[in-house]
Amino acid sequence: MEIMEIIEIITHFINKDNNVIEVQFRTNEDYEDYVRVDTIEFSYLSDFGYETPYITLDLFDDDDEWDLEFDNDEYFIDESELIQFLNEYYEVYPSKLPEADYI
């Protein structure tokens, strides 16, 4: 029997003020035109030992030449770290794994 494993992150962001991680991903059991969407409490990152790998989007100075605007409340985590975290999270909490939806 093959073990379910997250293999691809579609999108994600961390909003610390709202205490959530929003993520869209695909597992090795999902077809290419399906995606799973979940919102996980931010505190689970530190519970699973992933408290420092996230970064803010404050990558550019105020006078950046592209005039990009980012919400300072949003943080991102390295995708390989996020995949690792999600695989551990759903191994501990298998009932929280969302169903795959057709996109």
Say what the pLDDT of residue 53 is: 52
The C-alpha angle with vertex 67 and arms to 66 and 70, in degrees rounded to 5, equals 110
Please write the tens of the pLDDT for every residue from 32-61.
999 999 999 988 988 999 876 565 555 444
Q: First CA to last CA across the chain, in angstroms?
A: 27
2-16, 66-80, 88-102: lowest mean pLDDT where? 66-80
Say what the pLDDT of residue 101 is: 97
Please write the tens of the pLDDT for every residue from 86-98.
999 999 999 999 9
How much is the pTM?
A: 0.79
